[in-house]
Structure formats: C-alpha cells, structure tokens
Chain A
C-alpha cells in the first residue's frame, strides 16, 4: 500500500510538467487576437521553463525514481541546466523577432511542440531503461519532424522535412532492433540487469550487437557522416533560429544518452567494435565536413556543416580509455560551441535587408556587415576565429585538451590525422573571414542593410565578454565544471 502511495506521489510530481501545457493550449484557444495570443504563449513558455529550473534546484541532485527507470546524477543535472537555459535563450530570440516584425516564422503550434520536445529530452537524459529511453527519444523526434516543417509554404522546407521523417524513422527502427536483440538475450530492459547478465556471458555477441545497433541509431540521429546528407537539407529548409534549436538540443541529448550508455554498459562489456567503428566514422566526418563546406554559398549550409564537424569532435570521448576526464572536456567544448554559435546566429539575424525585410542568406552578403558597422563586423570576425579554434581564443584549448589524451594512450598516427583535419576546419572558417575582409564588394544586386536594436545586441555583447573572460579564468572554469560534475 505504501508503495502505491509513493508511486502516486511521483505521478503527481511528474504531471506538474503537463499542467502548464494544458493551460497554454486553453489560453491559445480562448484569445481571439493573434498578436496577444502569441505574446501570452511566449510569456507562459518562459515561465514554464523558469518553473522547471526552480524545480531542478529544489529537488536533490542525485535520485532514483520510478523503480530505477529514471536515475539522475550531477552530470545530468548540469547538462539539464544548460539545455533549459539554451531553450530559454532561443525562445526569447523568437519573441524578439515577432516583436520587431522580422521574418522569423513561428506559429503557436510550433511553440507548444517545442515545449513538448523539451520534456521528452529531459526524460531521455535521465532514462536508465531501454524502453523509456526509446519512447522519450521518440516524443522528441515526433515533435522535431513537425518543427522542421515550420516554413511549410516553401517546397524546399517540405522536402527537407520529408527527408528528416524518413531518416528518423529508419534510425528509430534500428534502435528498436537493438533493444529487441538485448531483450531476447537478457530478459530485461534495465541497464543494471543487462550489465549483470552481460558480464556473466561476456562472449555473447547478440547483446554486444544490440548495444552497437543502439549506438548506430543514435549516431544517425546526430548526423555523423556518412549519414549527414539529410541533416544539411533539413536545416536548409527550416529557418535559422529553428536550425539553432534543432542542432543544439539534438547534440546535448544524444551526447548525454551516449555517455549514459558508455558509463553503464560499454566500459564493462569491452565492446571494441564500437570504439573502432566510431573512430572511422569520426575521421570520415571530419574529411566530409571540411571538404563539403568549402563549396557552399549559403550561410545556413555553412552552419550545418560546422554542426556535423563539431558533433564528430564531441563524440571523441568514445575512442579514448580515460573517459571520465574526456567527458568533462567534451562538456566544456559543448559550452564553448553553444556560445560561439549563439553569437554568430545573433549577428546574422540582427542584420535585416531594408528592401524586403529578409535576413542574410548568402555568404558573400556577410561583407555588408563589415561595411555598415565596424564594431559588429569585428565581433563577427572574432566569433569566426573563436569557432575556428585559432590560438588566442579558448576554443583552441578546448579542442586540444580533447585530442591530446589520445597521444598519451599511444595512438599517435590517429592523433596526427585528427590534428591535420582540424587545420582543415580552420581553413573553412578563415575562408569566411576572407570573404568578409578581402573580397571585393559585389556590384550586382547590392541592397541596403540595417542593424536592428534590442535583445540580440545584449546576447552578442554577453558572448563576446565570455570569449574574452574565459581565456583569463581558464583553469578555474574547468575546475568548477569538475566540481559540479563531481569527478576528480
């Protein structure tokens, strides 16, 4: 009886996430005027995210809930904070766009779907049961299929959304095949049980194959080459801000799920197939991302290629042996990447063509930022150099501490190849800098541009301050992350 009571208390605790959703839907139906309804939705979404943040701080950092289906550690709590803060930032950017009447297309349904996908992501980061993991990942990806279609008046957007739907469906069936294979051989879906039974039959290839299939499905969803074509097309179809939301959230969630799998199953079961296969995929991704992005003309495709290259660097922790350190470094790299990308997208969105009100779409148009406003132009160049990983900025160090531990383990040739390929990444970021400063202004189709004022400027200033300050207090930041994550 006591057990039932505890479970029902837990149910009420979890349904607290659903109450704001119901209120939002009711409100959105009841108000007739469009702009008021939109603003009310934005405010309620922001309040909901703040509510979840407060709940995260109140409840304990480590817990086991729902008979071990959900387990939370300090690392997961920390990354949940990052996820919530990033989504708050993106929603406020959307609000800014709607207030100023920019062409950032967002509908009420998309906002509600963003909120539901956020809940799915929060659950899938804590999940320690395979079927819970699968269902929560699917809550997220069902919302994403529709969010990728948010500019559905264009044919390109529909095509991108359809590609995302097909590839997402294949990836989820592959994950499910892995889960079936594990369930058939161990009789359980909990991580702990699978670990115990898997340790008994260490040579059982079907369990190992199942875990490898799950990792493969997650990697297809992350967009690592050779499964990257759909990602670029999908991102081209959606808008710039929605691309930002999709890339960042997808990366955070997939990496945390991979870390969970790694810490709980893969390290103990000695699955070397995954390590070797992932190394090959990482090298292929670095080559494809570098070569492919050199011939791009559109800004959004450039950002998509940088997204797949960075996701390859983020899963480097799988290859090394000293994983505990590497996980901290990849979280640090993730934070740096998010801040750099946020500033870049803020700058690109903040500049509007005065004739037809659209944003910058082609890379050569970025030169107009430099010609119009030198301060914003310099901060754009700083951000590009920062993302490229050139030495005065922090991203250089966050890359090098990710790659250097491989040398200690004796994998010298692989490390050298990765270093060469990071030089390639620098080349294509510096190519954009060259377009901005050195290339001549295009005479054909020159339009006038203006900078919009408001919240985007504060985001840019904040990002630039982080870029400068984080070099001075480098050791302190890493040690703070280590203390928060509770790994020594």
Chain B
C-alpha cells in the first residue's frame, strides 16, 4: 500500500463520516456519495496500473457510468422533495422515526 492509496482511503473515510455527521443539506449528501464513488474508481485504476492489467480500468469506467445514474436519481428525489414541501433541509424530515 503506497501513499496515494492511503490518501484515497482517507478521502473515503472522510466522506463516510461526512454522511454520518452532516445534518444540514441534502445536496451535500449527493456530493459526498459522488466523491466516495469517484475515490473508489480511482483506487481501481491505480490497482490496475500497479498490476499491469486492463480489467481495473474497465471497472473504473463502469463505476463512472453507475455514478452518473445514481446521482441523477438523487437529484430527481431532491427536486420532488423541493416541489412538494419547499425545503431541502434534513432537519425538517422528521415524519418517520425508525
């Protein structure tokens, strides 16, 4: 494990903790999930360079496609939420409790 891997894993951990501790905005969540998936795609590409194998780069491309699809759905959910209620704040989403 070299330095770049460590940095990328640190970014991933920061993203996960951001998801857990963020209590303000839904757009933040969308950006963080995008960041996490991008980091993992980068890890795939790095591993493929290390192993001299094309499979990892292909997987990175697949992950990019998937990320685009998922963030589109997330944005759609936010748009529905805003048009129905007029808020995009997590604090006001308190109708359901576990």
Contacts and interface: CB of A to CB of B under 8 A. Distances in A.
Given A166-B19, A173-B33, A183-B44, A155 B84 contact: yes
A156 B80 contact: no
Interface string A217-240: 000000000000100110011000
Contact of B59 (A131, A159, A160, A187): A131
B73 A233 contact: no
Nearest to B50: A184
Nearest to A146: B73
Given A138-B66, A180-B43, A183-B56, A165 B77 contact: yes
Contacts of B93: 159, 162
Nearest to B87: A155
Contacts of B95: 155-156, 159
A233 B40 CA distance: 29
A52 B97 CA distance: 40
B14 to A, nearest CB: 13
A169 interface: yes
B63 A176 contact: yes
Interface in B51-91: 51, 53, 55-56, 59, 62-63, 66, 69-70, 73-74, 77, 80-81, 84-85
Contacts of B37: 173, 176
Given A142-B73, A159-B93, A177 B40 contact: yes
Most buried by B among A152, A163, A183, A188: A183
A169 B85 contact: no
Contacts of A120: none
Contacts of A135: 62, 66
Interface string A177-194: 101100110011100000
A155 B93 CA distance: 9
A161 B81 CA distance: 10
A185 B19 CA distance: 28
Interface string A300-314: 000000000000000
Interface residues of A, number: 38
A183 B55 contact: yes
Nearest to B85: A155
A180 B96 contact: no
A177 B12 contact: yes
- Sorting the interface of chain B by its residue count into under 10, 10 to 19, 20 to 34 or 35 or more gives 35 or more
A176 B39 CA distance: 11
B73 A189 contact: no
A165 B74 contact: yes
B80 A149 contact: yes
B73 A158 contact: no
Nearest to B39: A173
Interface in A122-142: 131, 135, 138, 142
A456 B22 CA distance: 45
Contacts of B26: 162
* Those 8 A-B pairs whose CB atoms lie nearest each other, nearest first: A233-B96, A229-B98, A184-B47, A169-B33, A173-B36, A176-B40, A180-B43, A187-B51
Interface of A: 131, 135, 138, 142, 145-146, 149, 152-153, 155-156, 158-163, 165-166, 169-170, 172-173, 176-177, 179-180, 183-184, 187-189, 229, 232-233, 236-237, 292
19 contacts: A135-B66, A142-B70, A145-B73, A159-B96, A160-B96, A162-B26, A166-B29, A169-B70, A170-B33, A173-B36, A173-B37, A176-B37, A176-B63, A187-B51, A188-B55, A229-B98, A233-B98, A236-B96, A237-B96
Given A158-B81, A169-B70, A187-B51, 10 more contacts: A152-B80, A156-B95, A159-B93, A166-B19, A170-B33, A176-B63, A180-B43, A180-B44, A180-B47, A184-B47
